[in-house]
Chains A and B, each alone.
Chain A
Amino acid sequence: MGFAQIVGGTRHVFPDLRALLACATPFRSGDALAGVAAESAAQRVAAQRALADLPLSHFLHEAVVPYEDDEVTRLILDRHDAAAFAPVAHLTVGGFRDWLLAEADGAAISALAPGLTPEMVAGLTKICRLQDLVAIAAKCRVTTRFRNTLGLPGTLSIRLQPNDPVDDPKGIAAQVLDGLLLGAGDAVIGVNPATDNVDNLCRVLGLLDAVRDRYAIPTQSCVLAHVTTTMLAMERGAPVDLVFQSIGGTQGLNTSFGVSLSVLREAHEAALALKRGTVGDNVMYFETGQGSALSANAHHGVDQQTLEVRAYAVAREFRPLLVNSVVGFIGPEYLYDGKQIIRAGLEDHCAGKLLGLPMGVDVCYTNHAEADQDDMDALLTLLGVAGVTYVMGVPGADDTMLAYQSTSFHDGLYARAALGKKPAPEFAAWLERMGLAERTPEALPAPMTVAGLL
């Protein structure tokens, strides 16, 4: 079935839902690269009008990636909760936007989440301005727990990201201390390993767990290795709090990441069996990002933002503690400049929250993108207003291992201060206890030394 809309005297025709969603997407380089972007501004707004008139229920009858070919589509449709969907079943996409902005509250949105498909949510975000994406996300309530409580109203958490180019224990420890001094680390202390090697993984896991244990920090650690490497580490008895994996919105993309739903299920069960969480059992950590499916040639002609939201259906299957879009990491061929990165970050956050995920954003850019610190300040501030669950904390915003710029520990302090946000309550209490909450740290507290951690 196709769709048609007249704009400015011209009749625009869209052959299927896939084309309608793609043409309705605000411009970004990745959709042009894929050859699915609208060919004119008029065609784009025609698609947006047609999309706004589409009943939400239509999304249950037309898949953008064939059900027979793709386990993510099967997951989305097989898991759809018709009872949860009932309150909005009579609405169009445009009516859904109006309902979210005017009437819905946090409880209603939480109850609705299992009734929403990623494609419905993607469609919604395509007809939202930035302020709508902020306002809708700010209504959502998503709380997760492991050793602390993330996502409570009035909080903003930080992943402490002490990456080192060679996983040098001293380099990692020094960055961990720097971050703790500046109030970061309540979301997770999470290292991207320089090499995906099980010995190395066990070594870094041991270091992070020892730091946490030594100072009794109410947080969790993670080394962001491939899920299969983390499973080997768990078999060896390594202290694995959270299982990490990069995921995507199509089976083909997940295959290119070397994962499947069954592998993720196996890892999830193994991590749950360790019972390391003290206040909850959300044990998974996922990262995603617009453009990755096209990058892996697994996009099925679907626009990159719709595919990104489909990745969140994979994530929600495993009740994660943390999910973040690494929005500006992928490069200018997918998100060309600060304008495109800012919009994508707000889309990803809003869509993830509507689907019930504890959504963070890696507010970031690479040196081959047309973006700079001013763009990151804008996105960070907007996300803070939108109630983002967490952002990254990297020393001086410079990740020396991954060679990109993310938010700094200072940026986290700025956002909390400017927006009146606090860390997760357990972590905030720990900062108070350690005397780190309000001080300008000329010196480390007496027990904290790099040597003491090694």
Chain B
Amino acid sequence: MTAPTLWRDLRRFTSARVGLGRVGHALPTAAHLDFQEAHAQARDAVWSALDTASLAAALPGAQIVASAAPDRRSYLLRPDLGRRLAEGTQLAPRPGCFAIVIADGLCASGVQAQAAPLLAALIPGLERAGWDVAPPVIATQARVAIGDDIGQALGAAMVAVLIGERPGLSSLDSMGIYLTHAPRTGRNDAERNCISNIRPGGISPADAAAKLLWLVAAARRLGLTGVGLKDEQPAVLEGETPTLLK
């Protein structure tokens, strides 16, 4: 017989808030205040800005654009503005290219940290697959669908939008990627494939790049993205191979 597992030992297996204990039916004071602190940090992260200059410096040829949302508050209340390029934005057409958009989304810090390492793994893979990869477009106050406007302006065959995800209490630094085949204004979300939770403790930039390359190849073969493109590659997990049950 082994010793019984202590409740708090569950924390060894997950970053979720397990094994917190209880006082009556409530959280103990320390756990309650841990939560309040995390929420305060996440609230502040929503209002953080993307440092476009340092990002552009790391990405040769990158162009910086803005959405039609003039400020953060407008961005939060008017998602339609965040989906459109600002009036008068000029992008040089590059028909048939693979377009990459880096967007701040709802939290800039994850994109700030992880866009460059992801692209370092992604771009060589795309080029090996024969793609003409356009220089990245960095977009501020932007939502996922701004990739449709940008892709259409470039005449891109496909667009990958790297975007800051809504900050969670345990993830102030998470990035998602949305892949859209034949991007044009008015595409809907069922026409995209998504890889989310790219962050420390989630999916690594290298694994995400590998997954995206698989999706890009499948999208090119099928001529579409979205619910018609099932992610059927074997599951890739960090660490040990998952044990089968029973």
Contact = CB atoms under 8 A, between A and B. Distances in A.
Q: Do A and B bind each other?
A: yes
Interface of A: 29, 33, 162-171, 173-175, 177-178, 181-182, 194-200, 203, 206-207, 210, 226, 228-229, 232, 255-258, 295-297, 331-333, 336, 366-368, 372-373, 394-405, 408, 410, 413-414, 417, 440-446, 448-450, 453-454
A440 B24 CA distance: 9
Interface in B86-113: 106
Given A165-B202, A166-B203, A175 B78 contact: no
Contacts of B7: 178, 181, 441-444
Nearest to A210: B245
B127 interface: no
28 contacts: A166-B202, A166-B203, A178-B19, A181-B7, A197-B232, A198-B230, A206-B245, A226-B227, A228-B227, A333-B77, A367-B42, A367-B43, A367-B169, A368-B46, A372-B39, A395-B16, A395-B17, A396-B16, A396-B17, A396-B20, A400-B169, A401-B197, A403-B166, A403-B167, A413-B25, A442-B6, A443-B5, A448-B5
Contacts of A197: 230-233, 235
Contacts of A210: 245-246
B235 A199 contact: yes
A178 B14 CA distance: 11
Contacts of B128: none
Contact of A403 (B6, B174, B242): B174
B103 to A, nearest CB: 15
A168 B197 CA distance: 13
Interface in B16-35: 16-20, 22, 25-27, 31, 35
Contact of B27 (A164, A396, A405): A396
Interface of B: 1-2, 4-7, 10-20, 22, 25-27, 31, 35-36, 38-39, 42-43, 45-46, 76-80, 106, 165-171, 174, 188-190, 195-197, 199, 201-203, 226-227, 230-235, 237-238, 242-246
A-B CB proximity, top 9 nearest = A396-B17, A403-B168, A258-B227, A174-B13, A413-B25, A171-B14, A178-B18, A367-B42, A210-B245
Contact of A199 (B80, B234, B244): B234
Contacts of B25: 410, 413-414, 417
A257 B190 contact: yes
Contacts of B26: 410, 414
